Amino acid sequence: MKTDITPYLERLLITVLISLVIVGFINEGAYLLQKEKTDRPPKTIQLVIPAGTAARVAAGESTPSIPEKMVFVTGDVLEVKNEDSSAHQLGPVWVPAGTTGRLELREPNKYTYSCSFAPSRFLGLDVRQPTTLGTRLAGMALSAPPMAAFIFIYGLLVFPIKSGKKEGLKQV
Amino acid sequence: MKMKPLYAGLFGIIVIGILLVGWRVLAGSYRFQGSLIDPPAPAADFTLTDQNGQPFRLSDQRGKVTLLFFGYTHCTDVCPITLASFTKIHEQLGKQADNVRFVFITVDPERDTIQQMHDHLAKFDPAIIGLTGSPSELGPVWKDYGVFLDPHHGVGVENYDVDHSSRIYAIDTQSNWRLTYPAEMDWQTIAEDVAHLLN
């Protein structure tokens, strides 16, 4: 006996589409209500240490101004270009003279590091997990299947598919 | 069992999508996970004394990757954790570890004598090279490697602590500073980077 699964597949496809719409509305609504400034894709953040910084620090003069607390998102690349004649440290990045130090911030966490030229000698890094289009889509991908399964089973119970009949056709 | 062309098409698109994502992931070039120094800068050379009383010169290690850490044997904090990480990296690299030097340089020459280094490192991994020297020998090394240190000792204080920077340096086979790692970086990540430096 041949089993025609087409009506079930059609029902499943429709269910998945309905689930995606429902989940999309819920997820995007929650996102818009809770959106933060750090909800952005990762990027490269470059800081330049100008020539003569070490000498200015030694002389007690003003140094390149950087905020004592910097907020990043996971995946950001902290790039420190050292144009000075001696090595510098900015948080987790140690940069010999004339080179660039580059670190991808992978883990969300709050760090306190020493900094060779910050006024307080310390630097706080706050690495946050951003809510990007990718994470929102991943959220939808995770929540849509159980929603679809629920609607599909519910639909089968409330609107059963008649055997031998095409889905969507009225039974006479 | 029948399947409409529409569903066969959808199935095909999903399979192609998975294959494309898999190819993108596998084909992507390796990205070092430590703080990358670009362009690589020649590592400052030094000669110090190891735990067996033998001279150790950094430039003699050309052709090998050197993992270098500054600490002291009386440390109860980051130093034993880092030495344990060195041991695990050594194990993880297996045969490749023959081309890696694990180096521990003291920031406390007053207490870290050759014998003290020998006895302390024997608790970890014989592959770890402990280096010490006089303050006048170590001073330029600390300066070249940007090491911060602040001993908390005073008159009559024997069991003092030394605040010190705790980064790990990876020096490549061409004796260049290539990567640094903050103390909290996990050893698996460092081992992965070192394996790529060797390749």
Residue A169 pLDDT > 60, yes or no?
no
Q: Which of A34, A41, A17, A9 is nearest to A140 (CA)?
A: A17
Q: What is the pLDDT of residue B63?
A: 95
Residue A76 pLDDT > 70, yes or no?
yes
- From chain B, the residues in CB contact with A114 under 8 A are 148, 165
DSSP state of B64: S
Range with lowest mean pLDDT among A65-69, A155-159, B46-50, B142-146? A65-69
Query: At a CB cut-off of 8 Å and minimum separation 6, what does A119 contact?
Result: A63, A68
Return the structure tokens found at A12.
């499943």
Q: Which of A4, A9, A116 sits opposite B7 (nearest CB)?
A: A9
Give the strand pairing for B128-131 and B35-42.
unpaired
- Residue A123 — very low, low, confident or very high, per pLDDT cuts 50/70/90? confident
B119 vs chain A: nearest CA distance in angstroms? Answer: 31
B36: three-class secondary structure by DSSP? strand
Q: What is the pLDDT of residue B95?
A: 93
CB contact under 8 A, A106 and B33: yes
**What pTM was computed for the model?**
0.72
Region B175-187 average pLDDT: 91
B185 vs chain A: nearest CA distance in angstroms? Answer: 10
B170: three-class secondary structure by DSSP? strand
Give the Cα separation of A72 and A75 in Å (integer): 8
Q: What is the pLDDT of residue A164?
A: 58
Q: For B166, name the nearest residue in chain A, comparing CA atoms only.
A: A92
CB of B124 closer than 8 Å to CB of B83: yes
Q: For B145, name the nearest residue in chain A, comparing CA atoms only.
A: A87
Give the Cα separation of B46 and B137 in Å (integer): 9
CB contact under 8 A, B4 and A95: no
The winner for highest mean pLDDT among A63-77, A91-105, B131-145, B173-187 is: B131-145
- From chain B, the residues in CB contact with A97 under 8 A are 41
Give the Cα separation of A163 and B162 in Å (integer): 80
Give long-range contacts, CB 8 A cutoff, 24+ apart: A60-69. Answer: A63/A117, A63/A118, A63/A119, A64/A117, A66/A90, A66/A115, A66/A118, A66/A123, A68/A118, A68/A119, A68/A120, A68/A122, A68/A123, A68/A124, A69/A123, A69/A124, A69/A125, A69/A126
The DSSP code sequence of A64-122 is: ----SEEEEETT-EEEEEE-SSS-EEETTEEE-TT-EEEEE--S-EEEEEEBSSSTTSE
B109 vs chain A: nearest CA distance in angstroms? Answer: 24
- DSSP lists the bridge partners of residue B171 as B66, B177
Residue B1 pLDDT > 60, yes or no?
no
Q: Which of A6, A101, A104 sits opposite B37 (nearest CB)?
A: A101
Q: Which of B4, B35, B146 sits opposite A103 (nearest CB)?
A: B35
CA-based torsion, A76, A39, A47, A90: positive or negative: negative
Q: Which of B140, B123, B122, B121 is nearest to B131 (CA)?
A: B121
Region A53-74 average pLDDT: 77
Query: Which has more pLDDT, A114 or A50?
Result: A50
Give the strand pairing for A44-49 and A77-82.
parallel
Residue A165 pLDDT > 70, yes or no?
no
Query: From the CB of residue B48, how many other CB atoms can be counted at a distance below 10 Å?
Result: 21
Query: Cβ of A85 under 8 Å from any chain B Cβ?
Result: no
A102 vs chain B: nearest CA distance in angstroms? Answer: 5
Q: Average pLDDT over chain A, rounded to whole?
A: 82
Q: What ipTM is given for this predicted complex?
A: 0.73
Query: Which has more pLDDT, B104 or B5?
Result: B104
Return the structure tokens found at B69.
């850490």
* φ and ψ of A81, to 5 deg: -100, 120
Give long-range contacts, CB 8 A cutoff, 24+ apart: A147-155. Answer: A147/A19, A147/A22, A147/A23, A148/A12, A148/A15, A148/A16, A148/A18, A148/A19, A151/A15, A151/A18, A151/A19, A152/A11, A152/A12, A152/A15, A155/A11, A155/A15
Give the Cα separation of A62 and A8 in Å (integer): 72
| Percent residues over pLDDT 90 in chain A | 23
Query: Which has more pLDDT, B159 or A152?
Result: A152
Residue B26 pLDDT > 50, yes or no?
yes
- Residue A172 — very low, low, confident or very high, per pLDDT cuts 50/70/90? very low
A99 vs chain B: nearest CA distance in angstroms? Answer: 6
Query: Cβ of B5 under 8 Å from any chain A Cβ?
Result: no
Q: For A2, name the nearest residue in chain B, comparing CA atoms only.
A: B1
Residue B158 pLDDT > 50, yes or no?
yes
Residue that the structure tokens 């140094």 belong to? A63
- Residue B124 — very low, low, confident or very high, per pLDDT cuts 50/70/90? very high
Q: What is the pLDDT of residue A56?
A: 81
Give the Cα separation of A120 and B84 in Å (integer): 32
* φ and ψ of B154, to 5 deg: -140, -165
Chain centroid offset of residue A172 CA: 53
pLDDT digits 0-9 by tens, B92-101? 999 999 999 9
- Residue B157 — very low, low, confident or very high, per pLDDT cuts 50/70/90? low
Amino acid at B84: A
Amino acid at A82: N
Which one of B37, B177, B189, B193 would you mutate to disrupt binding with A, by most A Cβ within 10 Å of its Cβ? B37
- Residue A34 — very low, low, confident or very high, per pLDDT cuts 50/70/90? confident
Range with lowest mean pLDDT among A113-117, B84-88, B163-167? A113-117
CB contact under 8 A, B182 and A104: no
Region B163-190 average pLDDT: 92
